[in-house]
Amino acid sequence: MPNTHIWIKTPLATFTANGLDASGGIVVEHGVISEILGAGQQPAKPGYAVFDAREHVVLPGLINTHHHFYQTLTRAWGPVVNQPLFPWLKTLYPVWARLTPEKLALASKVALAELLLSGCSTAADHHYLFPGGLENAIDVQVEAVRELGMRAMLTRGSMSLGEADGGLPPQQTVQQGQVILEDSQRLIKQYHERGEGAQIQIALAPCSPFSVTQEIMRQSADLAEELDVRLHTHLAETLDEEDFCLQRFGLRTVDYLDSVGWLSSRTWLAHGIHFNPDEIARLGQAGTGICHCPSSNMRLASGICPTIDLEAAGAPIGLGVDGSASNDASNMILEARQALYIQRLRYGAEKITPELALGWASKGSARLLGRTDIGELAVGKQADLAFFKLDELRFSGSHDPVSALLLCGADRADRMMIGGQWRVIDGQIEGLDVAQLIADHRQAAKELIAG
């Protein structure tokens, strides 16, 4: 029997909306949070199943807003370990071009399982590789998401500007505009759920200025407007990209974004590092979301996202682990720790608190995905909850439980609930043979590199 009515009783600590007292617990009814109880309070109605949470710190399920699941097959690959973005991409593209549906299924399952175990309940993926034979990549990912019982924003990515036309990716990895648009329409029609509690959503996501035509950017924006879905792309990640935009379009990145009709609140951007004050003001004015990817930005030495300036201007900030070839771990709670630390280097210790970083990983990320039903522990929100225990050596002697998650380096949730259903119990994913998955995935990764 599913847990339709459950009282998560007297948690050790919680991270609630507006710091609301939840020391009496959280009541879940039909997959939604129906009550937040203060000290000594009981649920309004009797007869709830009780889950004793006295050893758990309870967070809203974390939300990852940028990833490339397929890249779990090329983690820590020798030739690119010490490369910055452009040479890193040029070396990896031919390997990625050999991706198959079977390999993508394994890669997606691994990325999702890893995210889930790190406290993540909703994951966005940016999939832009559709070589011959992999035309149904997003359909493959939908299956993986359903198997894990998570929520996902699967973005129909695209590459349409190959080397032959001055782009970065090799010709065999690019598609014609018409093919991209038709598949985008099909996927939205087939999978995009609307309204509260949606499990699967689709967005449109041309890859980056250096891998798509301006035409496909404009057409994607028009289609997103027409079908009311969100827009996602990489922008202002490196200075090489800025140089590319200046040379090819005679525009800086934000001018380019504006020129193709993307400077809007429908858009969220991965990275968003190299902006001047005027560009930050324009992004804020438009309400364009920025997904901060701290680990990836450090690994590729791309730079530091100006999060606080963007937020002050009005641009929402969320977090993303980015693909596993540039942040080889898909771990959301560790990503919040990375955000805390890299942003302190930019803005100082007083301004960047654990609560701020956790807020980016939850409510901020929800805003990027255009969702108001997830990302907060509050009445009426989906019962997507992450439960962490502080019983490992790394937490011993810690005092404030919420701060301890980030400062002591929590890396694994003990339990996960999504829409009121337990998906992780005692650190194990319900119904998934992880050992078998690792064995199959390792084999697939070896084959992919071998060619």
Give the integer Cα–Cα distance in Å for 318 and 335: 11
Nearer residue to Zn ion within complex by CB, 88 or 395: 88
User: Most distant CA pair in the chain: distance in Å?
Assistant: 68
C-beta of 51 vs 210, nearer to Zn ion? 210
Q: What's the min distance (Å) between Cβ of 366 and Zn ion? A: 20
CA distances from 257 to 213, 222, 365 (A): 12, 14, 21
Phi, psi angle pair for 154, to nearest 5° = -95, 120
Angstrom distance (rounded) from CA 68 to CA 48: 40
| H or E element, residue 187 | helix 177-191
CA distance 307 to 450: 40
Question: What span, in angstroms and rounded, lies between the C-alpha atoms of 266 and 289?
Answer: 8
User: Minimal distance in Å, beta carbon 324 to Zn ion?
Assistant: 10
Question: In three state form, how does the secondary structure of 60-106 look?
Answer: ECEEECCCCHHHHHHCCCHHHCCCCHHHHHHHHHHHHCCCCHHHHHH
Nearer to Zn ion, 320 or 354 (CB): 320
Q: What does the block give as tokens for 54?
A: 């006295």
Shortest distance, CB of residue 234 to Zn ion, whole angstroms?
5
Q: What is the DSSP string of 299-358?
A: HTT-----HHHHHHHT--EEE----TTTSS---HHHHHHHHHHHHHHHH-TTT--HHHHH
Q: In the complex with Zn ion, which residue's Cβ is closer, 304 or 434?
A: 304
Nearer to Zn ion, 57 or 270 (CB): 270
Least Å distance between CB 448 and Zn ion? 19
Least CB distance to Zn ion at residue 319 (A): 13
Q: Residue 5: helix, strand or coil by DSSP?
A: strand
Least distance from Zn ion to the Cβ atom of residue 66, Å: 6
CB nearer Zn ion, residue 229 or residue 300: 300
Q: How far is the CB of 442 from Zn ion (least distance, A)?
A: 23
Q: Do residues 8 and 28 touch, judged by C-beta distance below 8 A?
A: yes
Q: How far is the CB of 134 from Zn ion (least distance, A)?
A: 18
User: Of 268, 284, 283, nearest to 318 (Cα)?
Assistant: 268
The three-class DSSP label of residue 280 is helix
Cβ closer to Zn ion: 299 or 367? 299
Report the residue number, 26 or 270, with the smaller CB distance to Zn ion: 270
Q: Among residues 270 and 374, whose Cβ is nearest to Zn ion?
A: 270
Amino acid identity of 297?
N
For binding to Zn ion (CB under 5 A), which residues are involved? 270, 322
CA distances to 68, 115, 288, 296 from 321, rounded to whole Å, are 9, 9, 19, 7
Distance of closest approach, residue 73 Cβ to Zn ion, in angstroms: 15
